[in-house]
Amino acid sequence: MRFMLSVLALCIASPVWAASPSGTFASIDGGTLSLDDWNGRPVLVVNTASMCGYTPQFAALQELYDTYRDRGLVVLAVPSDDFNQELSSAAEVKDFCELQYGIDMPMTDITHVRGDQAHPFYKDVLAKAGFAPGWNFNKILLDGHGLVVGTWGSPTGPMSEAITAPIEALLN
């Protein structure tokens, strides 16, 4: 019930990206990734780092993506060095994630997620939902219209019920 009330309350808020540049990221593969391309689909945005104690969560993020992608979920990994735990180049990050964890989910280039240099998406999330990543592997769940319906810190595992329950609700 609390989740449904939270979703209802957020539905009257404005979307985080609302077809603005804040929903466009540089892709780790070159080009761009736009949240608009996933309109109508829930998106879990996770700021990641390759050399963090939470880095093993990549395996669970890929499991989450594999479990729900056919039903519409997108998991977007956003590598960031804001906590000084990322490799030095996007190429190194991409190779590490593919070789160590078999990652095939969408990934951005190395991106700032906090402070004055934060990507506009993260600035919008802070302004509209009051959430900024406090460490690596913080999670932001967007409904299919760009509204923040949940945020979680690093300790919350991607396959935990705290995350999968709202995803299931959005997909049903």
Please say if the pLDDT value at position 49 is more than 80: yes
Q: What is the CATH number of the domain that holds 122?
A: 3.40.30.10
Residue 102, domain member (yes or no): yes
Residue 64, domain member (yes or no): yes
pTM beyond cutoff 0.95: no
pLDDT value of position 22: 78
Residue 11, domain member (yes or no): no
The residue with greater pLDDT, 56 or 16, is: 56
Residue 12, domain member (yes or no): no
The parent domain of residue 68 ranges over 2-6+25-142+149-171
Residue 15, domain member (yes or no): no
Residue 162, domain member (yes or no): yes
What's the whole-number average pLDDT of the chain? 90
The average pLDDT across 55-62 equals 98
The residue with greater pLDDT, 17 or 44, is: 44
The average pLDDT across 1-7 equals 44
The average pLDDT across 39-64 equals 97
Residue 18, domain member (yes or no): no
Residue 118, domain member (yes or no): yes
The residue with greater pLDDT, 20 or 109, is: 109
Query: What is the number of domains present in the chain?
Result: 1
pLDDT value of position 70: 97
List pLDDT tens digits, range 128-155. Answer: 999 999 999 999 999 999 999 999 999 9
**Whose CA is closest to 24, among 10, 38, 13, 14?**
38
**Whose CA is closest to 168, among 141, 128, 131?**
141
The yes-or-no answer on residue 52 being catalytic is yes
Please say if the pLDDT value at position 12 is more than 60: no
Annotated active-site residue in 43, 52, 90, 93: 52
